[in-house]
Structure 1
Amino acid sequence: MMDFFKSVIINAKDRDEIRVGFVENDVLMELYYESESLRSKVGNLYFARVDNIVEGMDAAFLDIGTGKKAFLRSEDLCKIYRKNKEPVITSLKAGQKLIVQVKKDSFFNKGPQVTTYVSVTGRYLVYLPYSRKVSISRKIREKNERNRLLKLVKEIRNGKGGFIIRTLAKAMDETIIEREARELIHSWEEILNKTSEKKAPVLLYKEPDLVDILLRDKVNDVNEIVVDDFELQRYVKQKTQNLNIPIIFYGGDDLFSHYGIESQILDSLDKKVNLRCGGSIYIQKTEALTVIDVNAGKNVKNGREEDVILATNKEAAKEIARQLRLRNLSGIIIVDFIDMNEDKEREQVKKVLETEMMKDKTRSFVMGFTQLGLLEMTRKRTLRTVYSSLQQECPVCKGAGFIFRPEIVVDKVKNDLKKMHLKKKISSVELKMSENAGKLFEKEKEKLEKELNIDIKLTFSDAYLGKYEILIVK
């Protein structure tokens, strides 16, 4: 089995923006960005005020003080605020105050999604103040260790909330686990105290910044951490002193280029990912889910067609696991592998994907193949996707990925001008459109001016690709 040399590369020389790359044997596996304008609110706790209850959706919009109204679904309203799963409309009322936690950041024109199933996260434990359960990570498989940790945490809990025992708690000393549990309970008590001191809406608790979250959750098994900021090097050493990880200072000009990361970043944005075997995968992110299509492409290996398809699907499964981590994709994920005839082949591909996803510290679940031959899986939502960190919605197509052809734009302009002429006698208009559509329109401009008895002033601008604007000149 191949050994992986794992590096965490932290580019923080420009302190307004921090970039973190997780590299295994020179291959970029995960990428994270943070700037003040892009900082995720996931995990933040707010003292919120109910703004509006939507009966038809059995949901509520809350004011958390961040501008856009937060969305609270019925399934995210815990028993502290409702009885016997009553609908939201009878459980809450406008103006009511409650503690919520952001579970999903704002997306385009949508506000953040929040939940009342709040939690406070540590390195080894997650404290659930409104729960009574103690559960443990599935990745801790040894029966004796599971029993040891469950017994310990149940004794510490002493009737105060519930806990999730994280993977990193494995083999940890009991005093360390106990200390963190008491710290998390104390943090929650301080959060509760703020609700009596402050007026809603207000921030009660802010999740640590990107570097702190990654040091807390993701660096226990890395071989080195490289930073390009001297102060940050000292801080990382302090935070990881119990992990015995070398913290290396890089004094050159471009840390990401030096480690070959810069060139791999653009690949993380491309819809198409080529496979070594000649096949490819296409990744399409939508608001509802992520769709991945596997194609055989130029895979012309010798052998039976069934063997080639199986080999391509297995390689694709490995690459899909990497791409989910690299792009930090989450939620519902549907994969359309190349059609396989045998259930045993589908099971082999599923097993490869599950094995590769075990390397991912973010929780995921591979459900399996549907009757249509599509593989279903989910991955927990954490931090921002690479897309939201590096890209913004196209101002032309508004995220659709397509714009109207010039011929269609010209037809729409002609129809609008005729409608405007019928409603109101106009003598002059200014028409703004792209140059490619404008050149087509010029061929009909003189005829249309005579037909409608108007003067049309034509202005070209690339800002009007696929669209146009008509201004009446008085």
Structure 2
Amino acid sequence: MPQQIVIAEHLRIAAVLSDERVDELIVAQGRYQIGDVYLGTVENVLPGIDAAFVNIGESEKNGFIHITDLGPLRLRKGGAGITELLEPRQKVLVQVMKEPTGTKGPRLTGNLSLPGRFLVLQPHGQGVSISRRIDSENERNRLRALGVLIKPPGSGLLVRTEAEGVSEDLLIDDLESLLRQWEAIQLAAETASPPVLLNRDEDFIHRVLRDFYSPEVVRVVVDTPDAVARVNAFLGADQTTLSVEHHEESGEILEHYKVNAAIRDALKPRVDLPSGGYVIIEPTEALTVIDVNSGSFTRSANARETVLWTNCEAAVEIARQLRLRNIGGVVIVDFIDMDSRRDQLQLLEHFTQATRHDSARPQVAQLTELGLVELTRKRQGQNIYELFGRACPSCGGLGHVAVLPGRDTLQPLATVSGLVRSAASARAEVSSPVALEGSGGSRRRRGGRGGRGGDGSEAGTLSEPLASAEESLLSPGEESGPDQGPRRQEPEVVAVPMDDTQELVYGWMGLSPALLLESPPAADNLVLRIVRPGSDPEAVLEEARQQLAASGSRRRRRGRGSSEGRQGSAEPAMDHGADLDTLMEIPLVEITPLVLEESARSFEVHSLDGSVHRSAGGDRSEAEPQNGETASESDASGEPRRRRRRSSASV
């Protein structure tokens, strides 16, 4: 089947396409990449598991190496234990064989291998190996004889599939290039101070063509004119039947060839089949589970043909999804049940044929007693979920929230502290940092209905919402009621980096954006300003201070002019809502508690375009003031009313 390779070198992402569909992704963006050669130091040795941890860089995760992967060290000392082979602070030359995943560091090996276009040099290996994909026995004998003649003493040589039919001169040139590379690594290891990176495939285009070019490739598309010349130089005579093009059309190359769309679809669990069936792919910590369903497919003459057709179609799509998503480890496939043993064997053969071109060499086992198909696939780098997926800030990556008994509101399963930890990397520019008082980083809503705890918090309520700009900005002369407390200090102005999605989620959950700060300030006298990605925090803070100063002077002048009238009048207090609207000419995100029963609590989020989003609960209470009105201290029934809270969150 004709294929094409699309390379976005500036992003270090490439894709292999067949029939305009993305079959495989190549990504080289991590700190540690497969094939990197490091000079590291042993941190600690674990004799209980015959392994050791090696420091190979600045990452908090050390590399892991097992005794079976020590290579030359183990060969020199025979069957010695791990404690006799390695000791703390010992220098070791290692290569990354598996990239970091989750909480695990990179997997290392001492059996180094340097891949070329036609050959793979194994400096500490033995013998000559021929690729199993070369079928011709005469060609295998020719390559094996040549490998024995040119192989350096004490080294191993692997002849790749691309070497089939290649002349002896090209094979020798490839080997000489690998030997020069190995000599440079040895020289650098003698003079460098560990931990240090000694060798990496920096040329992304050469790496992609070396590992994924095949005779089926008829077109290569790159994103720069310089890359076209490099592709032609690397392929040499093979370019006679190959079209090498520079992407000159408007729009990004990954968008034009629908690579980004393929990534978005691959992050979804459901994959639709052409016949109407579908496949569900669910990765877990231990293994990946795949379920096959017939869906709306009913075009076959009988149920047996329907099941067999759907299963065979799903087998081809599953083989493609394993490559596209780069799923490794144990995979369990639950095909639609089939009673016929003949159909089961036909499905297994079809599945095996669909995976035979996979470079990760999937091993398909027989059906289990429950009708499940087991297979294993070699891990090669990070899967698509680790590369392009991020945990949801609402549920902490669980995929669902809880509706607790007796409550109508959705409760996030991820704790507030968990959200703070996940967002600890967010940096905030604070004009005058204030240390968080008390223990813990979360603050509860003040003045709740019903009983209070000893700390003034209401049990079972959400955390403190966005700080009230209205409450923090009122001067003593404008407070409603005759008894006035001490004059408030100037409010603290804080800038918090947030995007639109984070702002909407935090507002819906009633969480303060101050939780994103590494040291959240006190929320009783605070003005928050949201800083969008790419904006200058200092400019946003300065604009907020100027608006606060101008608005404060207007309120003080109005307060002095009307104080006499207020003392001799029975009229209600001045409407501060309109004054606040004048102050906050910037867009606001307003969170308003709805008046509901004690067992239910709901919030409204007024977004920038004027639309209203409600988390749960019923309609707005008739006693609740509208925008611009001042909330009285109690309603007609004498029950205390909650003051409206606002946050000056701007785009």
Q: Same fold per TM (> 0.5)?
A: yes
**1:100 and 2:94 aligned:** yes
**Where do residues 35-434 of structure 1 align in structure 2 (5 Å cutoff)?**
35=29, 38=30, 40-67=32-59, 68-78=61-71, 80-81=73-74, 83-221=77-215, 222-244=217-239, 245-254=242-251, 255-405=253-403, 432=443
Q: CA deviation at 1:42?
A: 1.1
2: CA distance, partners of 1:400 / 1:76: 36
2: CA distance, partners of 1:396 / 1:20: 32
Measured at CA, do residues 432 and 125 of structure 1 come closer, stay the same or move farther in structure 2, by a change above 3 Å? Answer: farther
Q: CA deviation at 1:197?
A: 1.1
Please state whether the residue corresponding to 2:354 is helix, strand or coil. helix
Equivalent AA in structure 2 for residue 186 of structure 1: R
Give the length in aligned residue pairs. Answer: 444
Identity %: 31
Where relative contact order (Cα < 8 A, 6+ residues apart) is larger, the structure is 1
Residues 18 and 33 in structure 1, CA contact (< 8 A), matched pair in contact too: yes
Equivalent AA in structure 2 for residue 269 of structure 1: L
1: CA distance, partners of 2:295 / 2:140: 46
Residues 429 and 454 in structure 1, CA contact (< 8 A), matched pair in contact too: no
Q: CA deviation at 1:160?
A: 2.8
Equivalent AA in structure 2 for residue 346 of structure 1: Q
- Single out whichever of 188-197 and 164-173 deviates more from structure 2: 188-197
Equivalent AA in structure 2 for residue 247 of structure 1: V
Equivalent AA in structure 2 for residue 7 of structure 1: Q
Please state whether the residue corresponding to 1:223 is helix, strand or coil. strand
1: CA distance, partners of 2:399 / 2:168: 54
Equivalent AA in structure 2 for residue 252 of structure 1: E
Please state whether the residue corresponding to 1:126 is helix, strand or coil. strand
Q: CA deviation at 1:430?
A: 8.6
Please state whether the residue corresponding to 2:351 is helix, strand or coil. helix
TM-score by length of 2: 0.62
Equivalent AA in structure 1 for residue 290 of structure 2: I
Q: CA deviation at 1:314?
A: 0.4
Measured at CA, do residues 232 and 281 of structure 1 come closer, stay the same or move farther in structure 2, by a change above 3 Å? Answer: same
1: CA distance, partners of 2:438 / 2:182: 69
Q: CA deviation at 1:209?
A: 4.1
1: CA distance, partners of 2:184 / 2:340: 57
Per-residue Cα deviation, 1:42-63 (whole angstroms, up to 9, x for no partner): 1101111110122333321110
1: CA distance, partners of 2:347 / 2:353: 10
Q: CA deviation at 1:361?
A: 4.0
**1:460 and 2:455 aligned:** no
Equivalent AA in structure 2 for residue 228 of structure 1: D
Q: CA deviation at 1:465?
A: 6.1
**1:447 and 2:441 aligned:** no
**Greater Cα radius of gyration, structure 1 or 2:** 2
- Single out whichever of 137-146 and 155-164 deviates more from structure 2: 155-164
Measured at CA, do residues 48 and 260 of structure 1 come closer, stay the same or move farther in structure 2, by a change above 3 Å? Answer: closer
Equivalent AA in structure 1 for residue 225 of structure 2: F
Residues 394 and 412 in structure 2, CA contact (< 8 A), matched pair in contact too: no
2: CA distance, partners of 1:125 / 1:292: 37
2: CA distance, partners of 1:150 / 1:412: 59
What are structure 2's unaligned runs of at least 5 residues?
416-436, 467-504, 525-651
Please state whether the residue corresponding to 1:160 is helix, strand or coil. coil
Q: CA deviation at 1:22?
A: 1.6
**1:9 and 2:9 aligned:** no
Residues 97 and 108 in structure 2, CA contact (< 8 A), matched pair in contact too: yes
Q: CA deviation at 1:189?
A: 2.8
1: CA distance, partners of 2:209 / 2:20: 20
- Single out whichever of 155-164 and 42-51 deviates more from structure 2: 155-164
2: CA distance, partners of 1:381 / 1:308: 34
Residues 429 and 456 in structure 1, CA contact (< 8 A), matched pair in contact too: no
2: CA distance, partners of 1:92 / 1:316: 48
Please state whether the residue corresponding to 1:28 is helix, strand or coil. strand
Measured at CA, do residues 98 and 23 of structure 1 come closer, stay the same or move farther in structure 2, by a change above 3 Å? Answer: same
Measured at CA, do residues 194 and 260 of structure 1 come closer, stay the same or move farther in structure 2, by a change above 3 Å? Answer: closer
Residues 41 and 207 in structure 1, CA contact (< 8 A), matched pair in contact too: no
Per-residue Cα deviation, 1:256-310 (whole angstroms, up to 9, x for no partner): 3433444333212111101122221111223443222212222223433222211
Residues 405 and 466 in structure 1, CA contact (< 8 A), matched pair in contact too: no
Residues 402 and 413 in structure 2, CA contact (< 8 A), matched pair in contact too: no
- Single out whichever of 163-172 and 279-288 deviates more from structure 2: 279-288
Q: CA deviation at 1:113?
A: 1.3
2: CA distance, partners of 1:253 / 1:143: 50
Q: Which residue of 1 aligns with 2:614?
A: none
- Single out whichever of 57-66 and 178-187 deviates more from structure 2: 178-187
Per-residue Cα deviation, 1:236-272 (whole angstroms, up to 9, x for no partner): 2222223212211221112334334443332121111
Q: CA deviation at 1:472?
A: 11
- Single out whichever of 122-131 and 312-321 deviates more from structure 2: 122-131
More strand by share: 1
What are structure 1's unaligned runs of at least 5 residues?
414-425
1: CA distance, partners of 2:57 / 2:169: 39
Per-residue Cα deviation, 1:394-446 (whole angstroms, up to 9, x for no partner): 45545443455466969999xxxxxxxxxxxx99999547xxxx8xx99xx54
Measured at CA, do residues 384 and 471 of structure 1 come closer, stay the same or move farther in structure 2, by a change above 3 Å? Answer: same
Taking only aligned residues, the RMSD between alpha carbons, in angstroms, comes to: 3.4
Please state whether the residue corresponding to 2:282 is helix, strand or coil. strand
2: CA distance, partners of 1:184 / 1:383: 23
Residues 47 and 200 in structure 1, CA contact (< 8 A), matched pair in contact too: yes
Residues 28 and 326 in structure 1, CA contact (< 8 A), matched pair in contact too: yes
Measured at CA, do residues 400 and 86 of structure 1 come closer, stay the same or move farther in structure 2, by a change above 3 Å? Answer: farther
